[in-house]
């Protein structure tokens, strides 16, 4: 006899005697919903699924008792938790609630006819749409073509089966097992796909990050390699410039000095030779002097490019430096461009005055050349400065045509120029960059909005001087030539015969001995005593460094009398040697007055030291 099931009230599904049904199934349990208006059908489904589990349990107990074995653990097959409703709308409500609570139904057994509300086909349509995974079994005892056509039109029809009543209990149980396992497999596969997509997405993100990092590393490496190649080129150019300076300065020395001697002789002959030839010779010698001065300036520029200045930084007033630099330029700018300057007083930097003046002169001349024959707008150059707590910036601004963006990053490269052949060496801006960075500063360039270019020099700001304390000024010595007194004995060591001849003439009335190599110089010093020795630092074979070391061994103390002659572009090892010893050195090409002054001072100092030692 079937026990009646209370009819479902409006508030929910039918309530059954005994414990509440399990709402959250175990790992092997599936939630099954039975929707039928016939309460006896609910009991039939409960009995079918309960009998299947009870039969399995009884068989296990029987086998254990017959064979005297322990009862095996609970079977690993699927378990089912049934819930019941009597109307289609209630079935949809239960499916929606289960879906939202993430406790979905795997299977719904649904009667086709459930008066007075939705029938099974209409309810199945709503349920299949509400839950994309649930399986639906339509249970019917009738064969009606109308609802069969409606079933064929349903969306999700692949998740729907029809079961004819009366049904076999084993058939129902096997059908539930198959459909629920299919439901579980679909959900498991979808979760795996989602996990795979998530993993792929994460790996794609990691790969994108790794790619971006690798791209950044490649860019940094490429930039570093470019900087290294540029540094290697600059190093090679520096070595070339050092040798070039020495080779040029040798002939330039006797050209400059010989020109000065000829000018001196022409002054002495004025009035004693015809005016016409005298004027013509003076003009020719003047032209030679101008050409030699231009070559000397070019060599000085190459020397500055070859190595940073090693002079000590000093306290500099920016307004004084700008005034001095612009003062040298006003006559060149007159009638060609308007020059404006706005420099606040009291802005101090740590740097090297002569080099900073050279940078400013070069930038203004560069702006003037860029504007060329510009008429509209009227050429104008503005120089201004501003100061903050850490830096002082000096800007040189023009209203010329600007710089092509394709080359603006190359203008500080050595030997890069846009000027016509013969109009520039391509070293001007490179030297400016070298000088400014050598003073711990930076130099930048940018095109102005509209027209023109702005070059900005930034240097470390110096502390403001205390009130009442004057700023030290390194004035150039301009005193009279030292009185040579008694002529001294001087040895000149140089591998260039014309330099020896030029120095012999320049240093009269001193007694001059000349040799062209270090072994001959050592032989002379072993026999004679000299007040002063002028020695070229770079010579074939044994050079000036070797002579200093060997003379110190031959006659200790005599090495202190050496004054070295340099081409100004000495190699790094030679420069370190000069920095290490106390001896003075003089650069080629010589200024005759400066050379005679140095020789006179050194001879007088050596004789005074000798006289003191004798007394």
Q: What is the CATH number of the domain that holds 43?
A: 3.40.50.2300
CA angle (188, 190, 195) in 5-degree steps: 95
Residue 289 domain-assigned? no
Query: How many separate domains does the chain show?
Result: 3
- Of 167, 189, 224, which residue is a domain's last? 167
**Residue 384 pLDDT grade (very low, low, confident, very high; cuts 50, 70, 90):** confident
Residue 500 belongs to a domain: yes
387 lies in the same domain as 499: no
Distance CA 519, CA 121 (A): 121
Considering the domain architecture, whether residues 453 and 496 belong to the same structural domain is answered as: no
Please report which residue ranges of 416-528 form alpha helices under DSSP H: 428-438, 497-506, 518-527
Q: Give percent above pLDDT 90 in the chain.
A: 19
462-484: per-residue pLDDT in tens?
765 544 333 333 333 333 333 44
Asked, for residue 215, whether it belongs to a domain, the answer is no
pLDDT at 615: 46
CATH number for the domain that contains residue 376: 3.30.565.10
Give whole-number Cα distances, 156 to 124, 127, 160, 307, 428, in Å. 10, 10, 7, 84, 82
571 and 494 part of one domain: yes
Asked if residue 571 and residue 452 are part of one domain, the reply reads no
| Domain, as residue range, for 133 | 29-167
Residue 309 vs residue 497, higher pLDDT: 497
149-181 pLDDT per residue, tens: 788 888 888 899 988 888 888 889 899 999 999
SS3 labels along 131-195: CCCCEEEEEECCCCHHHHHHHHCCCCHHHEEEEECCCCHHHHHHHHHHHHHHHHHHHHHHHHHHH
Among the three residues 149, 167, 185, which one is the final residue of a domain in this structure? Answer: 167
Residue 237 is predicted with a pLDDT of 67
Q: Quick one: 450 and 499 in the same domain? A: no
ω into residue 377 within 30 of 0, thus cis?
yes
Distance between alpha carbon 198 and the CA centroid of its chain, in Å? 35
pLDDT, position 471? 39
Angstrom distance (rounded) from CA 473 to CA 466:
16
Q: What is the mean pLDDT of the chain?
A: 78
Distance in angstroms (rounded) separating the CA atoms of residues 65 and 56 = 14
**Token digits for 205?**
């993100």
Determine if the peptide bond prior to 244 is cis (ω within 30°): no
pLDDT in tens, 315-338: 888 888 888 788 777 767 777 788
Whole-number pLDDT of residue 9:
36
- pLDDT by residue (tens digit) across 274-295? 888 888 888 888 778 777 776 7
Residue 183, pLDDT score: 93
Q: Give CA–CA dist 321/143, Å, rounded.
A: 111
């Amino acid at each position: 006899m079937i026990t009646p099931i209370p009819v479902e009230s409006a508030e929910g599904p039918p309530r059954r005697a005994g414990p509440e049904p399990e709402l959250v199934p175990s790992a092997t349990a599936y939630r099954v919903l039975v929707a039928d208006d016939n309460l006896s059908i609910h009991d039939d489904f409960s009995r079918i699924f309960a009998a299947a589990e009870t039969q399995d349990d009884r068989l296990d107990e029987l086998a254990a008792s017959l064979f005297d074995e322990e009862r095996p653990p609970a079977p690993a097959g699927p378990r089912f938790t049934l819930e019941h409703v009597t109307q289609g709308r209630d079935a949809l409500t239960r499916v929606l609630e289960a879906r939202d609570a993430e406790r979905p139904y795997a299977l719904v057994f649904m009667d086709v006819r459930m008066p007075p509300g939705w029938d099974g086909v209409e309810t199945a349509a709503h349920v299949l749409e509400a839950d994309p995974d649930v399986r639906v079994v339509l249970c019917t005892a009738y064969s009606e073509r109308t609802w069969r056509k409606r079933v064929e039109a349903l969306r999700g029809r692949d998740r729907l089966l029809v079961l004819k009543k009366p049904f076999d209990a084993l058939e129902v149980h096997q059908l539930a097992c198959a459909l629920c396992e299919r439901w579980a497999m679909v959900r498991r596969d979808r979760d795996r796909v989602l996990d795979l997509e998530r993993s792929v997405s994460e790996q794609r993100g990691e790969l994108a990050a790794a790619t971006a990092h690798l791209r950044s590393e490649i860019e940094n490496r490429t930039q570093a390699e470019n900087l290294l190649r540029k540094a290697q080129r600059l190093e090679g150019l520096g070595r070339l410039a050092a040798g070039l300076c020495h080779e040029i300065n040798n002939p330039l020395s006797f050209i400059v000095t010989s020109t000065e001697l000829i000018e001196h002789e022409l002054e002495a002959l004025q009035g004693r030779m015809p005016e016409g030839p005298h004027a013509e010779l003076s003009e020719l010698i003047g032209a030679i002097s101008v050409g030699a001065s231009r070559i000397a300036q070019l060599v000085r520029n190459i020397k500055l490019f070859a190595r940073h200045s090693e002079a000590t930084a000093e306290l500099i007033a920016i307004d004084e430096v700008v005034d001095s630099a612009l003062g040298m330029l006003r006559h060149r700018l007159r009638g060609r461009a308007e020059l404006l300057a706005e420099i606040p007083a009291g802005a101090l930097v740590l740097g090297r005055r002569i080099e900073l003046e050279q940078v400013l002169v070069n930038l203004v001349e560069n702006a003037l050349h860029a504007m060329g024959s510009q008429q509209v707008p009227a050429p104008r150059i503005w120089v201004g400065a501003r100061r903050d707590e850490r830096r002082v910036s000096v800007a040189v601004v023009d209203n010329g045509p600007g710089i092509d963006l394709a080359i603006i990053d190359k203008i500080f490269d050595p030997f890069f120029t846009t000027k016509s052949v013969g109009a520039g060496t391509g070293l001007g801006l490179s030297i400016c960059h070298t000088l400014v960075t050598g003073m711990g500063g930076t130099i930048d360039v940018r095109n102005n909005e509209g027209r023109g270019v702005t070059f900005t020099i930034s240097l470390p700001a110096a502390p403001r001087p205390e009130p009442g304390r004057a700023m030290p000024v390194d004035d150039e010595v301009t005193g009279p030539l030292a009185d040579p007194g008694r002529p001294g004995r001087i040895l000149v060591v140089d591998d260039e015969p014309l330099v020896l001849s030029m120095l012999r003439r320049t240093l009269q009335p001193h007694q001059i001995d000349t040799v062209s190599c270090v072994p001959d110089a050592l032989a002379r010093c072993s026999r004679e005593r000299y007040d002063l020795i002028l020695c070229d630092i770079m010579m074939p074979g044994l050079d000036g460094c070797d002579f200093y070391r060997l003379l110190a061994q031959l006659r200790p103390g005599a090495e202190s009398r050496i004054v070295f002659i340099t081409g100004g572009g000495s190699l790094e090892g030679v420069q370190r040697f000069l920095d290490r010893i106390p001896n003075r050195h003089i650069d080629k090409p010589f200024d005759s007055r400066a050379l005679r002054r140095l020789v006179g001072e050194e001879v007088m100092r050596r004789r005074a030291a000798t006289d003191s030692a004798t007394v």
